[in-house]
Amino acid sequence: MIKEQEKHMARAFEKFIPVPQKNGVIMVIEKEFGPVGADDWVNIAAGLADIVKCTFGTASLYNEEILQEKVEIYQKSGISPMIGGTLTEVAILCAGGYTKKCLGPYLKYAKSLGFTHLEFSDGTIYIPDERRADIIQMCIQAGFTVISEVGKKDAAKDAAITLHRRIELMTKDLRSGAAMVIIEARESGKGIGVMSKSGEVNFEELDTIIQAVGLENTMIEAPNKDQQQSIYMKYGPGASIGNVQPKDILAAAALRAGLRGDTIGVLRKEHWKKYHDAVGAPQDYTI
């Protein structure tokens, strides 16, 4: 098992190739690891992934001891384990409501398993606006860092949310104590939120959202490489992305750090300028 102090070990080549320190968050969605798989993965992902979400309702399908062991592995590696929003939605349904009496035992149990973060969403069920703040506060009081999500799983329902309405909900969630707000795009990254049916980022809408709520408060679900690349090219390494697959963590982190040909020219401008001037590269040569 990875030791907690190992996350501070030097990375290969770091004396030659600096990696930006002021980075946004990368949230990984995980639905397949047992303790052995998680232990192997964190040896690569520690220091790169910030949050790992047990996506949709998968956490409820594990043996309790196995889940607890896996969550502990994430914690010790410095990656925050998060309960997915869909599981909490199902818990609300099964409890028959979202009052403290209904939701309290679920939150206490999730905390006992070692989860530090909780995603709050209403992607499938209906929750009145006036109760969002109450639920977020309830989760915070239970000891969780809350990351809320705005958007619906159903494309038609999500499309009915206006840009103004999306910003309004995100702003209210942040005021209620959410650490960040996720823009829904599902695991496919297509046809939901600021993603088109073909998976392209609608930067006109995303720019408006970020100007309203702040880049540091926004997480964009971007499971696909082209989406991640365009977001980092537009906003730099301070952008936060979610729904990254475990196998893609190195690729996403490389995009963020300007360690792929796709982002070197933008994310390593200072290095490129010095090199360009030093070697006398043609003025029209760009990367």
Which residue shows structure tokens 């190195």? 250
Residues 173-196 pLDDT 10s: 999 999 999 999 999 999 999 999
What are the pLDDT tens digits along the chain (287 aa)?
333 434 456 778 988 988 876 689 999 999 999 999 999 999 999 999 999 999 988 999 999 999 999 999 999 999 999 999 999 999 999 999 989 999 999 999 999 999 999 999 999 999 998 899 999 999 999 999 999 999 999 999 999 999 999 999 999 999 999 999 999 999 999 999 999 999 999 999 999 999 999 999 999 999 999 999 999 999 999 999 999 999 999 999 999 999 999 999 888 888 888 998 899 989 888 88
Coil vs helix vs strand at 172: helix
**pLDDT score at 269:** 85
Predicted pLDDT of residue 7: 46
Q: Within 10 A of 140 (CB to CB), how many other CB atoms are there?
A: 17
Task: Give the type of residue at 42.
Answer: V
Angle at 9 between CA 77 and CA 254, to 5 degrees: 80
Looking up tokens 């520690």, which residue turns up? Answer: 46
From CA 178, how far away is CA 106, in angstroms rounded?
19
CB 267 within 8 A of CB 257: yes
Instruction: Give pLDDT, residue 238.
Output: 95
Q: For 32-73, how does the pLDDT look when each residue is reduced to its tens digit (9 = 90+)?
A: 999 999 999 999 999 999 999 999 889 999 999 999 999 999
* C-alpha dist (Å) from residue 229 to 12, 45, 129, 218, 266: 24, 19, 34, 17, 11
CA nearest neighbour of 137 among 107, 109, 164: 107
Residues 174 and 278: their CA atoms lie apart, in Å, by 47
Domain covering 4-256, topology:
TIM Barrel (3.20.20)
Round to whole Å and give the CA distance between 144 and 80.
Answer: 11
